[in-house]
């Protein structure tokens, strides 16, 4: 019988729990027969035909009993795993139904998803441009993906359990020739059910739905033994990703340190001189490992800083190490800001950005507290792409080209989607992009369904577009800051200079006074926008905290003094 949505909504864990208890008791009783079987041995001096017949019969009984013990043990293990897996299915069904309830959706008995008739009429009457219909369809799609993953998990556990029970029914589980205890161990291995892997090439929503279909025991198993499955998997909650990535970091640290030691030993001849042939043969690998080692040391140092940190992503397979670090808890924060840095950014040099994000988080929470609001904040430094370095040109990795920004934008868009997909209720989400990172952010926000509520760009060479309307964020929610003497902000290399974009809100970067009378310091140049106590940082804190009306408006003109921009001066 095929498994349908109507079936799985009726699944209960309790019958499996009862079967688990019965099988455990049966297995224990059968293992207790080991001593009795031993005492059934033939008398020491008994010989002849009867003795030989009894000996053969006893061997047959022993073999049969070992097979039965193995079968019972296999059934017990399979039922235990199925009991746990069914809990995951039940949780996934509950999550899909709760998502439908929160978003006025209806799940049919066949698993189809639609919006309520009342909502359809209301939206269609007022939606002149189709935006609400697109948003509604996105919710329908997300709910449908949750339903699909619950069904995929249900079919997987049904198939696995059926395979084990069929093997038992057909007598395919052999208890071996050892003791009853060893037969039980053989059966336990045969009865293990697999844990469903993530959907191949899954979207953040599909990944979230898959993760929701797993029990806590299954999740713990993955974090411990298969952390690479989820370390960078958008849609999985960030507490779990943090635990998985810390496990991966420990393993990679050991591998890197060991390999560096091997290479350094090979670079020395027995007399202590340098083995130049070995050095040049292994130079590329050695330098890559040293970069990884520096990156790991920096990540370790950031995670050890006071306050909560989460390691949300990490990749050592790219030309330069990539990492994503959060201050605060992204799973529970009311307000989340994701900062993407630009040119020359590396994980080894990420500590300063982490400090900036810690300060921005504190300033935002202080501003909320001053208003009498209790909202929590998490800030993320997202270096999940290959930020260009001076002199690099591989695969579009150049500050003069948009390749890295476009590729990074796709990954960043999925990261944004994953924040919302991993939670039942979306946070107030702000994108922050500096320099080439603003270009990356601009490309990310041209993709649909990111769930970003506001975006702040600063010191930008362009957003990958000349039209603010291309950014898939609410109208009026894009902000730009440009400091005096910031030449990068005048490039217009990747679309129109944001200083001249119609529909953009502009932020003051000079000396100013905050909404509460605070004295704020101005910034100059390209790299000071996040300086603690600055006007630009103050405005970002207001925007991240959901109060953009308190940001300080103003328009500075970077390197030039005339709002009509001249030709780019930057020497590309």
What is the helix (H) or strand (E) element at residue 352, kind and residue range? helix 351-370
What is the domain partition of the chain in residue ranges?
Answer: 5-223, 298-550
Long-range contact set of residues 215-220: C-beta below 8 Å, sequence gap at least 24 = 215/84, 215/85, 215/87, 215/88, 215/91, 217/84, 218/84, 218/85, 218/88
β-pair type (519-520, 512-513): antiparallel
Which has the closest alpha carbon to 253: 304, 289, 303?
289
CA distances from 193 to 13, 28, 161 (A): 16, 21, 7
pLDDT at 21 > cutoff 70: yes
Task: Please report which confidence band the pLDDT of residue 488 belongs to, taking 50, 70 and 90 as the band edges.
Answer: confident
Per residue in 247-274, pLDDT tens?
A: 999 999 999 999 999 999 999 999 999 9
515-543 per-position pLDDT tens digit: 989 999 999 999 999 999 999 999 999 99
Q: Measure the CA–CA gap between 319 and 129, rounded to whole angstroms.
A: 44
447-474 pLDDT, tens digit each: 999 999 999 999 999 999 999 999 999 9
- Mean of the pLDDT values across residues 179-206? 89
Answer yes or no: is pLDDT of 394 > 50: no
Q: Is 2.60.40.10 the CATH classification of the domain at 298-550?
A: no
pLDDT at 172 over 70: yes
Residue 112 has pLDDT above 80, yes or no: yes
pTM of this structure: 0.86
Listing DSSP states for 168-216 in one string gives HHTT-----SS-HHHHHHHHHHHHPPPPPPPPTT--HHHHHHHHHTS-H
Annotate 97-165 with DSSP letters as a single string.
Answer: HHHHHHTTEEE-TTS-EEE-HHHHHHHHHH-SSSHHHHHHHHHHHHHHHHHHHHHHHHHHHHHHHHHHH
In the structure, what pLDDT confidence band is assigned to residue 502 with cuts at 50, 70 and 90? Answer: very high
Does 113 have pLDDT greater than 60? yes
Model pLDDT for residues 397-407, shown as the tens digit of each residue: 555 566 789 99
Of 122-126, 331-335, 411-415, 544-548, the range with the lowest mean pLDDT is 122-126
Q: Which two tokens stand for residue 572?
A: 């590309």
Q: What is the Cα–Cα distance from 133 to 127, expressed in whole angstroms? A: 7
- List all residues 6 or more positions away from 379 whose beta carbon is below 8 Å from its beta carbon: 326, 327, 328, 336, 337, 338, 339, 357, 358, 360, 361, 364, 544
Q: What is the pLDDT of residue 139?
A: 87
C-alpha span between 45 and 54 (Å, rounded) = 13
Tallying the residues shown for the chain, one arrives at: 572
pLDDT score of 568 more than 50: no
Digit-coded pLDDT (tens) for 128-165: 456 778 788 888 998 999 999 999 999 999 999 999 99
- Give percent of the chain with pLDDT exceeding 70: 87
């Amino acid at each position: 019988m095929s498994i349908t949505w109507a079936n799985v909504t009726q699944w209960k864990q309790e019958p499996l729990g009862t079967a688990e208890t019965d099988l455990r008791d049966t297995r224990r009783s059968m293992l207790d027969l080991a001593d009795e079987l031993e005492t059934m041995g033939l008398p020491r001096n008994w010989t002849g035909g009867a003795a030989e017949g009894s000996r053969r019969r006893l061997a047959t009984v022993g073999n049969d009993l070992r097979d039965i013990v193995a079968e019972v043990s296999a059934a017990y293990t399979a039922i235990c795993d199925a009991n746990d897996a069914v809990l995951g299915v039940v949780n996934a069904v509950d999550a899909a139904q709760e998502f439908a309830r929160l978003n006025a959706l209806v799940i049919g008995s066949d698993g189809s998803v639609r919006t309520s008739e009342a909502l359809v009429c209301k939206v269609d009457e007022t939606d002149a441009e189709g935006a609400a219909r697109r948003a509604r369809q996105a919710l329908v799609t997300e709910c449908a993906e949750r339903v699909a993953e619950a069904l995929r998990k249900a079919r997987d556990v049904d198939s696995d359990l059926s395979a084990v029970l069929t093997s038992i029914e057909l007598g395919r589980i052999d208890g071996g020739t050892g003791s009853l205890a060893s037969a039980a161990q053989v059966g336990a291995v045969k009865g293990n059910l697999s844990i469903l892997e993530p959907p191949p090439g899954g979207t953040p929503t599909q990944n979230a739905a898959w993760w929701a279909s797993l029990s806590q025991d299954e999740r713990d198993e993955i974090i411990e033994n298969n952390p690479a499955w989820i370390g960078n998997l958008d849609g999985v909650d960030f507490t779990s990703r943090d635990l998985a990535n810390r496990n991966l970091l420990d393993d990679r640290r050991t591998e890197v340190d060991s390999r560096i030691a091997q290479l350094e030993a090979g670079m020395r001849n027995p007399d202590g001189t340098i083995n130049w042939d070995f050095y040049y043969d292994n130079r590329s690998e050695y330098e890559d490992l040293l970069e990884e080692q520096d990156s790991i040391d920096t990540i370790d140092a950031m995670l050890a800083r006071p306050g909560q940190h989460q390691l949300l992503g990490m990749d050592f397979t790219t030309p330069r190490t990539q990492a994503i670090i959060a201050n605060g808890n992204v799973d529970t924060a009311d307000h989340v800001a994701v900062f993407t840095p630009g040119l020359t950014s590396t994980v080894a040099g990420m500590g300063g950005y982490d400090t900036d994000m810690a300060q921005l988080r504190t300033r935002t929470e202080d501003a909320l507290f001053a208003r009498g609001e209790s909202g929590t904040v998490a800030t993320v430094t997202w270096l999940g792409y290959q930020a260009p370095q001076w002199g690099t040109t591989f695969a579009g990795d150049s500050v003069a080209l948009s390749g890295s920004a476009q590729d990074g934008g796709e990954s960043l868009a999925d990261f944004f989607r994953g924040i919302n997909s991993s939670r039942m209720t979306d946070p107030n989400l702000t994108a922050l992009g500096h320099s080439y990172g603003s270009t990356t952010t601009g490309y990310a926000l041209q993709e649909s369904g990111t769930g970003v509520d506001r975006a702040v760009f600063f010191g930008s060479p362009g957003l990958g577009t000349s039209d603010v309307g291309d950014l898939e964020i609410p109208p009026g929610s894009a902000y730009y800051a440009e400091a005096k003497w910031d030449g990068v902000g005048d490039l217009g290399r990747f679309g129109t200079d944001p200083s001249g974009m119609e529909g953009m809100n502009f932020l003051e970067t000079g000396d100013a006074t905050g909404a509460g009378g605070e004295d704020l310091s101005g910034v100059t140049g390209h790299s000071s926008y996040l300086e603690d106590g600055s006007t630009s940082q103050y405005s970002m804190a207001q925007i991240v905290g959901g109060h953009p009306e308190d940001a300080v408006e103003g328009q500075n003109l970077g390197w030039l003094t005339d709002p009509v921009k001249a030709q780019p001066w930057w020497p590309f």
